[in-house]
Structure 1
Amino acid sequence: MEAAALEVGGQPETYSADLSDLSAVRSLAEAIRSNHDRLDVLINNAGVLKAPQTTLENGLDIRFVVNTLAPYLLTELLLPIIPKTGRVVNLSSAAQAPVDLDALTGKTRLADMGAYAQSKLAITIWTREQARALPDGPALIAVNPGSLLASKMVKDGFGVAGNDLNIGADILIDAALSDRFAQASGAYFDNDGGTFADPHPAALKSEHAADVMKAIQDTTRQYG
């Protein structure tokens, strides 16, 4: 973290939190809000595909916690300081699958790719649902930054070097700052195709989306 701050230059602030622990996410939000009364852009970028221990002590799957629940809770806690003109950019993926509510809430175990794909559709669903609930802003946008980029997760998960990380970094900057995303709240952007697109059809089914949203809200309240 210190090395990254040094590379960025200037005077960046750094915060550290274990995003597999929702109480730590709450503490992170409190620390940020204690130091700032305005946050223009929030990018929920953390992601897990494989882990030595995928089931946490509370029974939840680490993929759903880090990829879906932690960004939801962090966003909710920081919304009071994000202006209506601000943006929340959520990392989705080309890998998406209908969400097993029992898996999301820790009652069922899934293989690595299944948990990852479901967690990514879940974050896409809550992006869409929260955008609908906040029509005046901030803008919430789900982005597939590009498949198989050269991240540690890709290297560990697939054993490949991956594509240039700048592909993903550039689209996140674009989503956070450019005019073409200003009116795109609730949208899903697929950087593999370079265009706005529909997510997995399950996200467009109102009953499935409502069930997933309720499970996310109930689980974050219980454990966060």
Structure 2
Amino acid sequence: MGWFNAMCTSVARLDGKTAVITGCNTGIGKVTVQDFFERGARVIMACRNREKATQAAEEIKQATASKSNLGEIIVEELDLMSLKSVRSCAEKILAREKRIDLLINNAGVMTCPYGKTEDGFEIQFGTNHLGHFLLTLLLLPRICQSTPARIVNVSSVAHERGTINFDDLNWSQTPYSAIKAYGQSKLANVLFTKELHRKLREKNIKDVNVYSLHPGVIKTELARHVADTYGKGVKLLMSAMRWFFKTPLQGAQTTIYCAVDEKCASESGLYYAECAVKEPSQAAQNEADAKRLWSESLKLVGLPENYEPF
């Protein structure tokens, strides 16, 4: 049980609203699905494993069976390691959903051994940033039609140790470091948030707000690669420190806060932790890097330089 556990106290309802949440069959994503479902939202669980997501949806429905005014849960397949899958998922959502009020880019991988996505990207950069970058841009026109809307990007305090290596984003020449690659991907989440906010306001779109956040150190499946990367000794150390870790319920609170709380309804482009605005690293405030990352990301996901999702 974590020591620092701010809670979202908003009782705002989400009746009539549609939320898309990635990577949410376990951990803080699953908690977020249940929270939105209880608030009356139509929740789309966009997950890599349809069977596990369907099982999670049933577990949520069973856990809330005694409650009233619930929403709806729909499972959609999404593999962020495949741009083809991202495009397919976005196409299905756009064909079916008349509105998208909330997009929660929650899915992620952490400190995994070196590998590449289906499209040849380093796994952490490809999954944590590029997959969500493409999904967001493909859904953005519908989001902009559903105002007021919010986009929440789950980053990490690990962004503070990250740098964007524009000369080798996919670690093709650089000796691979799992933790540095993770830091780069999480820094990319914050820079993407900053640049998306800037572009929205540049286009005079004032009712789509964007947030990035650190959820806390949480005991979830996200750390499943730690032993593979650093050995059993580090895994044992993490086990010994488990009392300092948050539960998924505690870890989901800042995500929920950014998505529903009235207190941040007029904020955008900022970084949060413990349900409050925090100052990100200096690297995360570099406007030139944010612009360049946007441009480079467009190329990597196969979108034209003048792509206009607004």
Tell me the TM-score normalized by structure 1. 0.90
How many angstroms apart in 1 are the aligned matches of 2:171 and 2:299?
A: 12
Query: Residue type of the partner of 1:8?
Result: I
Among 267, 286, 293, which residue is 1:184 paired with? 267
Which residue identity does 1:216 align to in structure 2? S
Find the aligned partners of 1:89 and 1:105 in 2 and give their Cα distance.
24
Contact in 1 for aligned 2:112/2:225 (Cα 8 Å): no
Q: 2:187 aligns with which of 121, 131, 142?
A: 121
Return closer, same or farther for 1:57/1:35 CA change in 2, 3 Å cut-off.
closer
Deviation at 1:59, TM superposition (A): 2.8
Structure 1 unpaired stretches of 5+? none
Residue 167 of structure 2 corresponds to residue 102 of structure 1 = yes
Match of 2:124, as an amino acid? Answer: R
Match of 2:92 in 1: 31
**For the structure 1 residues 56 and 129, does the alpha-carbon distance in structure 2 shift closer, same or farther, using more than 3 Å as the test?**
same
Q: Equivalents in 2 of 1:22, 1:35: separation in Å?
A: 20
Q: CA deviation at 1:57?
A: 5.0
Contact 1:105 1:215 in 2 (8 A): no
Moved more, 175-184 or 46-55: 46-55
Q: 2:199 aligns with which of 133, 137, 142?
A: 133
Asked if structure 1 preserves the Cα contact closer than 8 Å seen for 2:113 and 2:225, the reply is no
Correspondent of 1:89 among 129, 152, 157: 152
CA pair 53-129 structure 1, distance change in 2 beyond 3 A: same
2:49 equivalent to 1:49 = no
Q: Percent identity?
A: 32
Is residue 2:255 matched to residue 1:203?
no
Measured in 2, the distance between the counterparts of 1:79 and 1:208 equals 22
User: How far has the Cα of 1:104 moved from its partner?
Assistant: 2.3
Deviation at 1:131, TM superposition (A): 0.6
Shift of 1:203: 2.0
Residue number in structure 2 paired with 1:150? 219
Contact between 2:83 and 2:301, CA under 8 Å: does it hold in 1? yes
Matched position secondary structure for 1:199: coil
Distance 2:196 2:270 in 1: 11
2:83/2:119 contact within 8 Å kept: no
Distance in 1 separating the partners of 2:142 and 2:287: 30
Task: Report SS of the residue matched to 1:14.
Answer: strand
Partner residue of 2:297? 216
Q: Once superposed, what is the RMSD of the aligned Cα atoms?
A: 2.0
**Structure-2 change in CA distance of 1:203 and 1:43 (3 Å):** same
Q: 1:108–1:123: structure 2 CA closer, same or farther, 3 Å change rule?
A: farther
Residue in 2 aligned with 1:2?
54
Matched residues in 1 for 2:168 and 2:110: separation?
15
Q: Which amino acid aligns with 2:193?
A: T
Determine the C-alpha separation between the residues in 1 that align with 2:289 and 2:96: 38
The aligned amino acid for 1:154 is A
Kept in 2: contact 1:61–1:103 (CA 8 A): no
Greater Rg by CA: 2
Contact 1:105 1:219 in 2 (8 A): no
The Cα shift of 1:219 comes to 1.0
Distance 1:21 1:15, change over 3 A: same
Deviation at 1:108, TM superposition (A): 3.7
Look up the equivalent residue of 2:55 and give its one-letter code: A
* Deviation of 1:53 (Å): 5.3
What is the letter of the counterpart of residue 20 of structure 1? M
* Paired residues of 2:254 and 2:272 also in contact (CA < 8 A): no
- 1:18 & 1:88 partners in 2: Cα distance? 19
Counting matched residue pairs gives 220
- Mean alpha-carbon deviation: is it higher for 77-86 or for 63-72? 77-86
TM-score by length of 2: 0.66
Any unmatched runs of 5+ in structure 2?
A: 1-52, 62-70, 227-233, 304-310
